[in-house]
C-alpha cells in the first residue's frame, strides 16, 4: 500500500506547485495588462491607435492580388505572413500549448479582471459613442475591422488558389492532400 500511495503524494505535491506557478503567471499577466486597461480611454479619445500590420493593409487594398505568387512556396509564405497578423486559420487545429487547467483558469481570471478595469475606466466618459465618433476613434476601429476581414478573405483566396495549383499545405488548407504528391 505504501508503494501505491507514494506516487499519488508526489503527483499531488507537483500539482500544488503547478497551481502556485499558474497563479503567479496570472498575476504577472494581470500586472502587464493593467496599464493598457487603465488607459483605455486614450483609445476612445483617439490618442492611442491600434496598429494595423502592413500585410492586412495590403490585403485591404487588393485581396485578390496574385503578383509574384507563381509558386506554392511563395503562396505559403504569404499565408504565413497573414497567419502571423491574424492568428491561425479555422482549418488548422489549435496549437497544443501543454497548459494545465490551473494555467487556463489563471489566464481567464486575469482577463476578467482586466476587462473589469477597462470597463470601469471607459464607463466614466459621458456620451462615449459620440466622443468616439468625433475623435475619429470609431472610424479607426472600423478600419481595423475592415483590414482584418480583408486579411481573412485574402488568406482564404490564397488557400483556394493553392488547392487549384495542387499545392501542399500551408499553401492550401490543412486538410488538403495534393494529387500525386503536389508541389512544394
Q: pLDDT tens, 34-43?
A: 555 555 555 5
Looking at residues 142-167, what average pLDDT do you find?
94
- Look up the pTM and report it: 0.59
Q: Which three cell numbers stand for residue 74?
A: 511563395
Q: How confident is the model at residue 49 (pLDDT cuts 50, 70, 90)?
A: low
Cell 471607459 belongs to residue: 122
3-state SS of 25-87 is HHHHHHHHHHHHHHCCHHHHCCCCCCCCCHHHHHHHHCCCCCCCCCCHHHHHHHHHHHHHHHC
Higher pLDDT, 99 or 6: 99
Q: Residue 40: what pLDDT?
A: 54
Dihedral pair phi/psi, residue 167, rounded to 5°: -85, 150
CA atoms of 86 and 106, how far apart (whole Å): 24
Amino acid at each position: 500500500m505504501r508503494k501505491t500511495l507514494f506516487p499519488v503524494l508526489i503527483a499531488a505535491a507537483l500539482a500544488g506547485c503547478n497551481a502556485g506557478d499558474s497563479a503567479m503567471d496570472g498575476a504577472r499577466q494581470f500586472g502587464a495588462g493593467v496599464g493598457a486597461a487603465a488607459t483605455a480611454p486614450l483609445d476612445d479619445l483617439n490618442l492611442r491607435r491600434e496598429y494595423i500590420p502592413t500585410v492586412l493593409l495590403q490585403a485591404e487594398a487588393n485581396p485578390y492580388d496574385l503578383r509574384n505568387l507563381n509558386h506554392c512556396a511563395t503562396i505559403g509564405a504569404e499565408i504565413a505572413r497573414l497567419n502571423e497578423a491574424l492568428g491561425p486559420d479555422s482549418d488548422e487545429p489549435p496549437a497544443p500549448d501543454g497548459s494545465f487547467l490551473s494555467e487556463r483558469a489563471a489566464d481567464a481570471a486575469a482577463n476578467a479582471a482586466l476587462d473589469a478595469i477597462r470597463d470601469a475606466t471607459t464607463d466614466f466618459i459621458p456620451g462615449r459613442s459620440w466622443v468616439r465618433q468625433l475623435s475619429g476613434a470609431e472610424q479607426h476601429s472600423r478600419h481595423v475591422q475592415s483590414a482584418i476581414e480583408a486579411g481573412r478573405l485574402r488568406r482564404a483566396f490564397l488557400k483556394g488558389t493553392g488547392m487549384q495549383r495542387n499545392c501542399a499545405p500551408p499553401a492550401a488548407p490543412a486538410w488538403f492532400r495534393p494529387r500525386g504528391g503536389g508541389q512544394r
